[in-house]
Amino acid sequence: MPILPPPPILTAAEYTVGPGGSYANLEALRTATGVLQSGDTIILNGDDNSLTRRFGVASLTFKGSGVIRPAASNSNIMYSSGNITLDSNSLEFRNFQWNDDGGVFCGNNVVLSGGTNTFTNNSANGMGGAIASSTYLTLSGGTNTFTGNSARYGGGAIGSYHVVLSGGTNTFTNNSTNGLGGAIYTDEGQVVLMATNGDITFRGNRDRVGTANEKANAIHAEFAGYYNTVFNAGEGQSIYFYDPIVMGQNYVQINNRATDTGRVVFDGSDYTRDVDRYSQVLNTTVGYGELQLRGNVVYGAANDVGTFTLGQWATLLTDASTNKIQANTITVNGNVGINSGGVLELAAAQGVTFNGTMYVGLGLEDFTSGIISVLGNLTFGNKAALDLYWGDSVTPLDGWSQVYDMSDLFLATGKTSGWGNFDFNMSSFEETGFEWTWNGNVLTLSYLGDDPSTTPEPATLLVLGLGAIGAGFVARRRK
């Protein structure tokens, strides 16, 4: 039997489009019969507004620079069953429209792997105003900006089963959808945001536009508990949510590696409505670095579902507004910093367990303290401590700071002298339906209401001369 020669090896070709290229524009390349094959690379050299129909090739790579616009009013670049890769010097895709998923690109797997990629004012009648992917959409480097994109059914900028941002600087501003997910929508997939060498920012994104339920939203994820959402910020990096998020049944893991020492920030200061500052997250674990709450945000689905855990190596920081965490159980093993004049509300039907250090700012001149307000039973473990500092931010500005072990503050008499000019007492709890017990190791505050179905007023831990605001733990400054 004769030996047949091996099949020829097909080498992917490169085609340069624009000045000095082999094709004058994208439309000329598209209409060249039998030229493009799956796996080819298109190098764009300058602006182009020639496309009247999309490419029909399974997989392509786009490189080069320029501003790319469609010539026809209803056109995207590519609708592919294969892979789409974007590795550009500087490409902007502007004003594309498509009557299905993916205003600019729609593929089985879409990768933005470097350079500067900008998607501006693109739209889709399905999901993903800029990009849609049926499996993975990966942004693995470079600078990627999504501005003013819109989609009818979900994902103003991106709609994909899985979304992974694994590096680079990624910014989502003023994207919108009539459906869910102002910037990003995933359907029973996974969201992984990793700010390893650049920040990730969501701002001004909205979903359910044009309905009575229109609201600010960065990410909407439809989960059935299959995957964990991951928000990791490396050293010196940040993930900013100026718009809230909506998660499903899975866990949100924030900074789950020891190398993730950056900060994840939820900031509601752009908005005045509560619904625009409310992140619906069922379960959260913060492992390392910082979780910052600013501008009157609410984090957590409700006070009777899910869990929130702050790990011993993590820090929760709040500003001078009122910020809230709610879950069925809240466990604090790390550090909590409350700015002067700020209020941190912890609402948990099954109670709050506090084993870390509470840093409370006292202000520089008016000595307005930070406040922690707790709804539900509160337990201080044997590692719990209070650190009072003189300053307007969590970092002491004057070098003045005093740490108290909780076991030194709560004695059988209900009152003990604190350090220097401060007294602490717990007597006001008993006046508002709470009692406290201290066994020399663990302090527990318990609500004593007659009707278990009645929601109690929150117990409020107050520091430094705020007067009788609810039930409280008060430090009074002596003249």
How do residues 183-223 score in pLDDT, each as one tens digit?
999 987 889 999 999 999 999 999 999 999 999 999 999 87
Count Cβ atoms within 10 A of the Cβ of residue 120 and give its class: 0-12 exposed, 13-18 middle, 19 or more buried.
middle
User: Strand 335-338 vs strand 307-318: parallel, antiparallel, or unpaired?
Assistant: parallel
* Nearest CA-CA partner of 219 in 246, 192, 255: 246
Count the neighbouring beta carbons within 10 Å of the beta carbon of residue 165. Answer: 27
Would you state the structure tokens that stand for residue 320, as one six-digit string?
A: 């001078």
Specify the pTM: 0.87
The mean pLDDT value for 122-132 works out to: 97
Would you state the structure tokens that stand for residue 400, as one six-digit string?
A: 């003045």
Q: What is the pLDDT of residue 351?
A: 85
* Nearest CA-CA partner of 208 in 149, 156, 279, 247: 156
Q: Give the separation between CA 461 and CA 276, rounded to whole angstroms.
A: 28
Type of residue numbered 433: G
The mean pLDDT value for 71-90 works out to: 89
E strand or H helix at 8, and its extent? none
Q: For 222-279, how does the pLDDT look when each residue is reduced to its tens digit (9 = 90+)?
A: 876 678 899 999 999 999 999 999 998 878 999 999 999 999 999 999 999 999 999 9
The mean pLDDT value for 156-172 works out to: 96
Q: What is the pLDDT of residue 368?
A: 63
Sequence-separated (6 or more) residues with CB below 8 Å from residue 56: none
Count Cβ atoms within 10 A of the Cβ of residue 249 and give its class: 0-12 exposed, 13-18 middle, 19 or more buried.
middle
Would you state the structure tokens that stand for residue 349, as one six-digit string?
A: 């039907």
Q: Which residues pair with 427 in a beta bridge?
A: none
Q: What is the mean pLDDT of the chain?
A: 82
CA distances from 436 to 317, 350, 445, 468 (A): 27, 16, 4, 18
Q: What is the pLDDT of residue 396?
A: 46
Token pair 């940040």 is at which residue? 238
- Is residue 50 predicted with pLDDT exceeding 60? yes
- Is residue 20 predicted with pLDDT exceeding 80? yes
CA distances from 466 to 23, 231, 294, 461, 463 (A): 74, 37, 22, 10, 7
Type of residue numbered 1: M
Would you say 153 and 181 are in contact if contact means Cβ atoms under 8 Å apart?
no
Which has the minimum average pLDDT: 83-92, 225-234, 468-477? 468-477
* Nearest CA-CA partner of 179 in 120, 227, 226, 222: 222
CA distances from 141 to 111, 165, 195 (A): 10, 8, 10
Sequence-separated (6 or more) residues with CB below 8 Å from residue 23: 15, 16, 17, 29, 32
- Is residue 358 predicted with pLDDT exceeding 90? no
Confidence of residue 378 (pLDDT cuts 50, 70, 90): confident
Q: What is the pLDDT of residue 379?
A: 78
Q: CA 460, 466, 467: angle at the middle one, nearest 5?
A: 85
Q: Which residues pair with 385 in a beta bridge?
A: 357, 405
Percent of the chain whose pLDDT exceeds 90: 59
Q: What is the pLDDT of residue 47?
A: 97
* Nearest CA-CA partner of 469 in 477, 478, 457, 454: 457
* Nearest CA-CA partner of 332 in 350, 316, 349: 316
